């Protein structure tokens, strides 16, 4: 095991994020690092809105975006562990409308064309490792743009829309990231097998036992008041996009429990979720999931390297598979479109979380995410 030098960690992370905030590249952020149950670093930076002096604090609420996906994966694995679901179940077992799917392509004029019929049935596992073909690639972007207000209104209406839409490729022939569509299908399946509304199932099975009081698809008035604005940066100038009450992720209303991107949370809440993952599925004596399921989540599912080739897809998370990565082999985690980022390093007992909301440097390729990883492991010694 390697240990973090907390003084060096503090120096490196402070220097980096202070510079980002001073130069306007980050509006407001929180960084949190834990090793072996001890908080080694925790600090909030910047403002919740570039037009005010309201500081980011531990109570600031952030859009998780795709850091919602690991929570949905845990929900699915809870259903698997209870015998309600199998990873290799065809999704058409629960949603018959997905039994006969077309494969689409974009023509020269950008119009959607049907290339043929899918031969491989889509499974729950395919969704979790981004190999289902649902709502991905440029075709998926085009389909999302064509959704009506009614299509976007609820989880069920969105899934009904995707069932009529073509896939981007033959299921399990390759992997391509599905920003929202595929995980919506999974969220709907969880509703059907549990008999509970998706947000209510998450609250009962994950949020309440993990003491995640500010994690939800539907913010209260108080949570809206604490929600950070989305930070923008253009031509060397920082600005904020005003919050639009009723929308957390893009143009999807909060009436839609967006299973791949719609949750809000705080650093304390998400640290509880990360603590559960690194503690083999238990949170302070309360079992959420078995170690076997956490191991499965962190196991590569498809031999198709993600962009950069240093990691493979586990169940909703990237899993480090290359010796030359910043993170140790077997570490896992994910990011969000607005700049959120976390990972679990079980080898060294580390989990780390970086939260910001920005519309220009987000996702798994965000510079802030990369720099945060760099700084944490630059502070490590044997």
| pLDDT band per the 50, 70, 90 thresholds, residue 324 | confident
195, 155 Cβ separation under 8 angstroms = no
Q: What's residue 316's pLDDT?
A: 98
Tokens 């500081």, residue? 55
pTM, 2 dp: 0.97
Residue 308 pLDDT greater than 70, yes or no: no
179, 258 Cβ separation under 8 angstroms = no
Residue 306 pLDDT greater than 80, yes or no: no
Domains recognised in the chain with CATH numbers: 75-198 (3.40.710.10)
Q: What's residue 106's pLDDT?
A: 93
Average pLDDT over residues 191-213: 98
Please tell me the distance from the alpha carbon of residue 187 to that of residue 264, in angstroms, as a whole number: 17
Between the two ends of the chain, the Cα-to-Cα distance in Å is 7
Average pLDDT over residues 342-365: 96
| pLDDT band per the 50, 70, 90 thresholds, residue 110 | confident
Please tell me the distance from the alpha carbon of residue 250 to that of residue 257, in angstroms, as a whole number: 13
Would you report the helix, strand and coil content of the chain in percent, each value rounded to 5?
35, 25, 45
Q: What is the pLDDT of residues 1-48, one digit of tens each?
A: 999 999 999 999 999 999 999 999 999 999 999 999 999 999 999 999
Q: What's residue 302's pLDDT?
A: 86
Query: Greater confidence, 81 or 323?
Result: 81
34, 271 Cβ separation under 8 angstroms = yes
Residue 323 pLDDT greater than 90, yes or no: no
Q: What is the mean pLDDT of the chain?
A: 96
Q: What's residue 307's pLDDT?
A: 64
132, 140 Cβ separation under 8 angstroms = no
Cα dist from 24 to 17, 47, 49, 115, 117, whole Å: 10, 11, 12, 46, 49
Q: What is the DSSP-derived secondary structure letter of residue 313?
A: E
Average pLDDT over residues 371-380: 97
Find residue 227's DSSP bridge partners. Answer: 61
355, 29 Cβ separation under 8 angstroms = yes
Please tell me the distance from the alpha carbon of residue 315 to that of residue 293, in angstroms, as a whole number: 10
Secondary structure of 34-65 as H, E, C letters: EECCEEEEEEEEEECCCCCCCECCCCCEEECH
Q: What's residue 305's pLDDT?
A: 73
| pLDDT band per the 50, 70, 90 thresholds, residue 109 | confident
| pLDDT band per the 50, 70, 90 thresholds, residue 382 | low
Average pLDDT over residues 275-297: 98
For residue 160, the surrounding DSSP H or E stretch is helix 155-164
Please tell me the distance from the alpha carbon of residue 111 to that of residue 37, in angstroms, as a whole number: 53
Tokens 């390729």, residue? 365
């Amino acid at each position: 095991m390697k240990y973090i030098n907390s003084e060096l960690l503090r120096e490196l992370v402070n220097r980096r994020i202070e510079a980002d905030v001073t130069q306007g590249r980050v509006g407001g952020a929180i960084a949190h690092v834990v090793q072996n149950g001890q908080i080694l670093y925790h600090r909030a930076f910047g403002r919740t809105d570039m037009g005010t002096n309201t500081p980011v604090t531990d109570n600031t609420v952030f859009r998780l975006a795709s850091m919602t996906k690991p929570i949905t994966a845990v929900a699915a694995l809870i259903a698997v562990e209870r015998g309600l679901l199998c990873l290799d179940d065809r999704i058409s077992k629960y949603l018959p409308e997905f039994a006969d799917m077309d494969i689409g392509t974009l023509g020269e004029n950008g119009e959607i064309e049907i290339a043929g019929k899918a031969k491989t049935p889509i499974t729950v596992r395919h969704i979790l490792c981004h190999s289902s073909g649902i709502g991905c690639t440029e075709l998926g972007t085009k389909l999302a743009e064509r959704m009506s207000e009614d299509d976007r209104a609820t989880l069920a209406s969105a899934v009904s829309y995707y069932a009529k839409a073509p896939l981007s490729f033959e299921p399990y022939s390759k992997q391509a990231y599905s920003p929202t569509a595929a995980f919506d299908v999974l969220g709907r399946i969880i509703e059907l097998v549990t008999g509970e509304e998706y947000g209510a199932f998450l609250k009962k099975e994950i949020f309440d036992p993990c003491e995640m009081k500010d994690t939800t698809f539907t913010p209260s008035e108080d949570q809206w008041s604490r929600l950070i604005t989305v930070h923008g940066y253009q031509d060397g100038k920082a600005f904020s996009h005003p919050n639009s009450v009723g929308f957390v992720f893009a143009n999807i209303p909060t009436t839609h429990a967006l299973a791949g991107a719609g949750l809000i949370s705080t650093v304390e809440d998400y640290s509880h979720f990360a603590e559960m993952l690194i503690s083999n599925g238990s949170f302070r004596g309360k079992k959420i999931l078995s170690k076997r399921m956490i191991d499965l989540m962190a196991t590569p599912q498809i031999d198709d390297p993600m962009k950069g080739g240093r990691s493979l897809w586990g169940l909703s998370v990237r899993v480090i598979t290359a010796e030359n990565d910043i993170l140790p082999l077997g570490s896992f985690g994910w990011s969000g479109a607005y700049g959120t980022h976390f990972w679990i390093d079980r080898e060294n007992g580390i989990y780390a979380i970086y939260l910001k909301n920005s519309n220009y440097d987000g996702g798994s390729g965000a510079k802030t995410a990369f720099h945060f990883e760099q700084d944490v492991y630059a502070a490590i010694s044997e």
